[in-house]
Structure formats: C-alpha cells, structure tokens
C-alpha cells in the first residue's frame, strides 16, 4: 500500500471513532517525520510505502489510512532530551546563543526549551548552572535545522 496523503490526526477523532476500528501503529523516530518518502512497517507487520504529494511533515498521531474497519497511525518514539528551564531572560538568552552557535535545533513547550541530548550541552548547562533535566519524551513534530549556508568569519 502506498500512502500519498495524511487523512487526519487521531487526536482530532472522538474515542468512539477509534474504538470501532482495528488500530495499527507505525513507530518512527522523530528524525523520520521530515521524510516525505519512506518505507515503514506497522506493529502488525504490514509494509507501507509513504510518498507524500505535499510538502507537509508527519506528526505524532497522523492517520495514514482509515476505512470503516481499520486505522493506521504514526506513533513517534520518545527522544532522549534535555529539558532546559532558565530562571531568567538573561539565562535564556545566554543558552539560546550558545546552542545557536552549535546549530542545535530546539523546540519550546510552555516555559521549557527542549533539545536532543548531547553530553557537551549537558556539561555546558552544568558549568553555567542552568536548570535542566534529562528525560525521554515524545515530541509532536520533528526537530528542524533551520540554518542556511553562512560563515562565522
């Protein structure tokens, strides 16, 4: 089966719509959310090809296929993250500047800054005494590198 478009998102369905269907999940890493063309396998060993015709990225809960009896969704695996919790706007500016110099993509949820685990970033946070925690968490959308070609000199 070739999937060319996202049908919707399971988070937009009510529970009765979900419960009346056989549910299959395609578990992928967050880095795969940006791939428009890929081969995947459901948790029931059904092979699918994804060839999205639009430039949208996949998201956790996206519905790849749905009919009266079946539902196939994207399940994003948890990432190893550093959850940074700056105490002030100054701390936020300093750590954002440091991470930007390293070209590390970040996501924001509420007052938290999320970056994928990196032992050098963890050491930097400890040195600067910036509050953080390390945890495995599912991200809804992929970490995206937004850097274009440039130089630092």
Interatomic CA distance for residues 83 and 133, integer angstroms = 5
Domain-by-domain residue ranges, the chain?
2-76, 79-137
| Cβ neighbours around 61 below 10 Å, total | 17
Q: What is the pLDDT of residues 90-143, one digit of tens each?
A: 998 999 898 888 888 888 888 899 999 999 999 999 999 999 999 999 987 788
CA dist list (Å): 18 to 28, 34, 44, 79, 129 = 21, 26, 17, 26, 46
CATH of 2-76, one of 2.40.40.20, 2.40.10.10, 2.60.120.380, 2.60.260.20: 2.60.260.20
Q: Which residues pair with 79 in a beta bridge?
A: 137
Mean per-residue pLDDT over the chain, rounded: 90
Instruction: Specify whether the CB–CB gap between 26 and 64 falls below 8 A.
Output: yes
Topology of the domain comprising 79-137: Alpha-Beta Plaits (3.30.70)
Using a cut of 0.85, tell me whether the model's pTM lies above it: no
């Amino acid at each position: 089966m070739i999937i060319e478009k996202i049908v919707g998102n399971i988070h937009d369905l009510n529970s009765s719509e979900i419960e009346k269907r056989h549910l299959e999940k395609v578990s992928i890493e967050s880095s795969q959310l940006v791939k428009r063309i890929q081969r995947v396998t459901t948790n029931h060993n059904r092979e699918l090809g994804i060839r999205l015709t639009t430039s949208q990225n996949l998201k956790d809960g996206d519905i790849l296929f749905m009919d009266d009896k079946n539902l196939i969704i994207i399940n994003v695996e948890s990432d190893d993250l550093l959850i940074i919790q700056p105490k002030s706007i100054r701390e936020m500016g300093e750590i954002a500047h440091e991470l930007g110099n390293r070209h590390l993509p970040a996501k924001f949820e509420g007052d938290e800054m999320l970056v994928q685990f990196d032992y050098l970033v963890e050491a930097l946070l400890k040195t600067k005494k910036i509050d953080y925690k390390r945890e495995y968490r599912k991200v809804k959308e992929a970490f995206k590198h937004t850097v274009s070609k440039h130089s630092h000199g």
